[in-house]
Structure 1
Amino acid sequence: MRTTEMTDDPRLPFGSNTSIEGCTEECVVIYSASPGVVALLSLCYGLLSIAAVGGNALVIWAVFGSRRMRKSTTNFYIANLALADITIGLFCIPFQFQAALLQRWDLPWFMCGFCPFIQVLSVNVSIFTLTAIAVDRHKAIVNPLSGVKSSASRARTIIATIWSFAGALALPMAMALGVTESPVGLPEELTKPFCSNVGLSTGAMMAYRHALVAVQYVCPLAVISVAYARVGMRLYWSETPGTAQRRRDAHMLRHKKKVK
């Protein structure tokens, strides 16, 4: 007997509407998005992915296609930000979108850990690069005579270190996730593939996520805030070149007027 029955089972998304062949009244139904919703969201996310990849590719081309642009170390960091955004547009937006929409994992098994790994990697690279830009501007403005000069080779070394450190921080995500067949309702043998944590305990995964919050948000926010606060104070209290001479000339002019 084929039936389509709505259910209040908390294990299923609200509003599930897919029928199951051979089910009786005790069966529950599985979530399924309508073709119109799938088409609309696929178009929106597809355009978003294309815009992210195309726009950031233009940024990289603008930086490395001009000799004048390559003279600034800040432009190397900007190109690195664009590269991190390209990786998200290529490997995260298209694939994780479909998993979230369909509420199941239909992609190859290795992508279950690969896509979240790339997402964490890209976010780490973006945040660490923004922190490196703040430190570089702080050094150039607050401590211009520190003896450590910015250069293209130094910027490339810092960028390579950023990618290595970001990859090491993202590696536990790739090791923890895997594809499992999880029950979705009644009868119990009714399952579908999910991408979930299979390599770490619940406590270890929670500790890892807390560590990511500290490394991705708390520490960079503190460093960036202090760096730009000191830059702002230095610029606010510094005098424009030539101000001292103008004050001296005005004082001498007032003195001459008094003599006359």
Structure 2
Amino acid sequence: MDPTYLASLNNSYELELLNDEWQIIIIVWYSSTAILSLISNILAIFILITSDRFMSEIWKYLVNLSVADILMAMFSIPFTYTSFMLGQWIFPTWLCPFIQSVQLCSVYVSVYTLAVIGFDRYFAIIHPFHHPVIYLKTHRIIVIVTVWITGIMFSFVQLLQTRAVPFRYGNETLYDCKELWNQDEGRYYTIFLFIITFGLPISILIFVYASIGVHLWQKKMPGNPETIRDLAQWQQKIKVIKMLIMIVIIFVVCWLPIHIHSFIVWFHPIHFQTYIGYMSYVISFFLCHWLAMAHSFLNPFIYGFMSENFKVCIHSFIHSSL
């Protein structure tokens, strides 16, 4: 949305959307989010790569998730909220398309890593002897590299279509970091982005986890002397599935609001008539955007809350460090 139009609605024709007190709150809020994301994900990566007790089958994918979240914390959180809050792009102009591209790439890598984990669990539990599960087990690095390559290629759209566009404000020339779409192009791209980064992968994950849930529910435990051991193994698998489902739910809760917000902006452009309407837009953006950014620190907490092995690893790490 045009920063000069927003400025005309805040009673003082200031580009900055909030007063100094609220700016301090927003800065502390987002800075805490970025720091928490960095610390939690770096700790998660260290524990995952140094422990042999934690889900050896998918630890590489979980590390990949944390790497994508770290990128989000470093290159998306500090820049995006700052430019919106101040009503201008205050950083070097060349950073504008780069930051938008990194953000899109990290989101793409996160969601398709989740999709790969879903397929991995689907074939491992329902079709353990089929070729796809053998490939996923023996070529996880290739799969991860492929996800990153496709994510980087996909993010080139932002490099090509995002620019720091100059605009006049008083006697100054300032910049607005924005996508260079016309109205129709912006709408088509919004739909495309929603399908590729949200609709399609979430649909896949719902299918695979629903299939796994039905399979586990209907599965009869083998009646042999190893029943206790097998039961313990199945209980562990169920715990893993619960954790992965929680990761998907958190992704939906965090990212769906910002997609809805984008649809509203492109398909129902808002022209506020009152200061209350203006503040409603500002608050709703910050809430939706923060939820999306908060996703970058939530996954490690999910690992800790839902994995006993991860808790054991944390305790072992703490004791060994003392």
TM-score by length of structure 1 reads: 0.77
Partner in structure 2 of residue 61 of structure 1 = 46
Alignment of 1:140 with 2:124, yes or no, is yes
Where in structure 2 are the equivalents of 1:207-246 lying within 5 Å?
207-242=188-223
Alignment of 1:176 with 2:165, yes or no, is no
The answer (yes or no) to whether the contact 2:164–2:176 under 8 Å persists in 1 is yes
Among 85, 90, 102, the residue aligned to 1:101: 85
Quick one: higher RCO (CA 8 Å, sep 6+), 1 or 2? Answer: 2
**What amino acid is aligned across from residue 102 of structure 2 in structure 1?**
I
Encode CA deviations 1:177-209: one digit per residue, 9 max, x unaligned: 11122245xx7x7653211234x5443343232
Of structures 1 and 2, the larger Rg is shown by 1
* 3-state SS of 1:149 partner: helix
Work out the CA distance in 2 between the residues paired with 1:126 and 1:13. 38
Alpha carbons of structure 1 residues 244 and 72: separation in structure 2 relative to 1, 3 Å: closer
Which is further off, 32-41 or 110-119?
32-41
Work out the CA distance in 2 between the residues paired with 1:207 and 1:72. 41
Work out the CA distance in 1 between the residues paired with 2:156 and 2:105. 8
Which is further off, 203-212 or 134-143?
203-212
The answer (yes or no) to whether the contact 1:180–1:195 under 8 Å persists in 2 is yes
Among 7, 23, 43, the residue aligned to 1:12: 7
**What amino acid is aligned across from residue 232 of structure 1 in structure 2?**
G
Structure 1 runs of 4+ aligned residues shifted over 4 Å read: 150-153, 243-246
Cα deviation, residue 146, structure 1: 1.0
* 3-state SS of 2:164 partner: strand
RMSD between aligned residues: 2.6
The answer (yes or no) to whether the contact 1:73–1:151 under 8 Å persists in 2 is no
Work out the CA distance in 2 between the residues paired with 1:11 and 1:53. 33
Where in structure 2 are the equivalents of 1:170-209 lying within 5 Å?
170-183=155-168, 192-198=174-180, 200-209=181-190
Work out the CA distance in 2 between the residues paired with 1:219 and 1:110. 32
Work out the CA distance in 2 between the residues paired with 1:206 and 1:103. 23
Alignment of 1:162 with 2:143, yes or no, is no
Q: Percent identity?
A: 23
Structure showing the higher helix proportion among its residues = 2
Cα deviation, residue 72, structure 1: 1.7
Work out the CA distance in 2 between the residues paired with 1:36 and 1:195. 25
* 3-state SS of 1:145 partner: coil
The total of aligned residue pairs comes to 222
The answer (yes or no) to whether the contact 2:120–2:136 under 8 Å persists in 1 is no
Work out the CA distance in 1 between the residues paired with 2:136 and 2:91. 43
**What amino acid is aligned across from residue 120 of structure 1 in structure 2?**
L
Encode CA deviations 1:80-124: one digit per residue, 9 max, x unaligned: 111111000001101111101101111001111111111111111
The answer (yes or no) to whether the contact 2:44–2:66 under 8 Å persists in 1 is yes
Work out the CA distance in 2 between the residues paired with 1:16 and 1:171. 39
Work out the CA distance in 2 between the residues paired with 1:79 and 1:16. 48
* 3-state SS of 2:165 partner: strand
Cα deviation, residue 59, structure 1: 0.8
Work out the CA distance in 2 between the residues paired with 1:81 and 1:245. 36
Cα deviation, residue 245, structure 1: 11
Partner in structure 2 of residue 112 of structure 1 = 96
Alpha carbons of structure 1 residues 178 and 245: separation in structure 2 relative to 1, 3 Å: closer
TM-score by length of structure 2 reads: 0.63
